[in-house]
């Protein structure tokens, strides 16, 4: 890539792209060709490779431009780009994106408040996030931090089912800090949520399909009943018309 400033590159019309060159964009005289199934065709003229691509209704894509000669492959470039986009989306979806949540305690905390904050810590750990727990010391508490360490250890023991101590309690100025890490990875939690979501969508679609089928069946039955009720009336009218015609003939 050029070391010229971006403004200079734009001024002289330099186009920078991460996309590979395809088909007529490949200007080298020869390429090392790879077939659509990964077979090695060998070094051939680029014009011949382009003809092979057209005959196979595929694209000639330069996959290794710095090789001597460059390596090109016969593929369906549109399908290739679509599959790459799907893979990238799945990779982002499955990527673990753990965050660090923070919970703060006072050394003299009552049992109710402790249980409430413990519930928050449990929820964060279940969600796959780390938790930074801070005990804030005041006054003489700074000189007796052992109570804060005991409080943090009590919390760690209570949530041991969901997380482990990643960073042991340590005093930093007026605070005592401990970090808890979840036992399960966040990606597993996300996968479970996606699985449940997929099952829920499938159930909704099944219910909608069942309601639609029942509605169509009811409509078909209503049409059949209407036809059945019209048919006898039509038959009676035909008989009456035939009878009137016979009477007219008899009178003549």
Find the mean pLDDT for residues 137-154: 82
Give percent of the chain above pLDDT 70. 75
Contact 177, 132 (CB under 8 A): yes
Contact 43, 4 (CB under 8 A): no
Query: pLDDT-based confidence at 37, cuts 50/70/90?
Result: confident
Find the mean pLDDT for residues 95-113: 81
Find the mean pLDDT for residues 166-191: 78
Give CA–CA dist 101/179, Å, rounded. Answer: 10
- In SS3 terms, the chain reads as CCCCCHHHHHHCCCCCCCCCCEHHHCCCCEEEEECCCCCEEEEEEHHHHHHHHHHCCCEEEEEECCCCCCEEEEECHHHHHHHHHHHHHHHHHHCCCCCEEEEEEECCCCHHHHHHHHHHHHHHHHCCCEEEEEEECCHHHHHCCHHHHHHHHHHHHHCCCCEEEEEEEEEECCEEEEEEEECCCHHHHHHHHHHHHHHHHHHHHHHHHHHHHHHHHHHHHHHHHHHHHHHHHHHHHHHHHHHHHHHHHHHC
Query: pLDDT-based confidence at 239, cuts 50/70/90?
Result: low
In the chain the domains, ranked by start, together with CATH numbers, are 23-92 (3.10.20.80), 100-182 (3.30.110.10)
Work out whether the CA dihedral 86, 87, 92, 95 comes out positive or negative: positive
pLDDT higher at 51 or 244 = 51
Give CA–CA dist 244/249, Å, rounded. Answer: 9
pLDDT at 177: 92
> Residue 184: is its pLDDT beyond 60?
yes
pLDDT at 33: 92
Give the tens place of pLDDT for each residue, 1-34.
444 444 444 434 444 456 788 898 898 999 999 9
Query: pLDDT-based confidence at 97, cuts 50/70/90?
Result: low
Find the mean pLDDT for residues 36-58: 90
Contact 131, 117 (CB under 8 A): no
Tokens of 65: 């431009």
Contact 163, 183 (CB under 8 A): yes
Lowest-pLDDT choice from 120-134, 168-182, 220-234: 220-234
> Residue 223: is its pLDDT beyond 80?
no
pTM, entire model: 0.39
Give percent of the chain above pLDDT 90. 24
């Amino acid at each position: 890539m050029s070391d010229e400033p971006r403004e200079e590159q734009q001024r002289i019309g330099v186009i920078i792209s991460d996309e590979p060159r395809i088909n007529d964009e490949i200007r080298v005289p020869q390429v090392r060709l790879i077939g659509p199934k990964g077979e090695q065709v060998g070094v051939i003229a680029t014009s011949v490779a382009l003809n092979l691509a057209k005959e196979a209704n595929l694209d000639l894509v330069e996959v290794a431009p710095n090789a001597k000669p460059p390596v090109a492959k016969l593929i369906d470039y549109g399908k290739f780009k679509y599959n790459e986009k799907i893979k990238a989306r799945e990779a982002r979806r499955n990527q673990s994106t753990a965050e660090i949540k923070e919970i703060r305690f006072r050394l003299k905390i009552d049992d109710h408040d402790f249980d409430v904050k413990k519930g928050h810590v449990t929820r964060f750990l279940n969600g796959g996030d780390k938790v930074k727990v801070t005990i804030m010391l005041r006054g003489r508490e700074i000189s007796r931090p052992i109570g804060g360490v005991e409080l943090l250890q009590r919390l760690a023991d209570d949530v041991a089912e969901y997380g482990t101590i990643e960073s042991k309690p340590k005093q930093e100025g007026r605070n005592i800090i401990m970090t808890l890490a979840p036992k399960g990875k966040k990606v597993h939690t996300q996968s479970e949520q996606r699985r449940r979501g997929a099952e829920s969508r499938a159930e909704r679609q099944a219910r909608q399909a069942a309601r639609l089928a029942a509605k169509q069946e009811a409509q078909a039955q209503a049409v059949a009943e209407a036809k059945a009720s019209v048919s006898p009336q039509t038959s009676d009218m035909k008989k009456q018309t035939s009878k009137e015609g016979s009477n007219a003939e008899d009178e003549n």
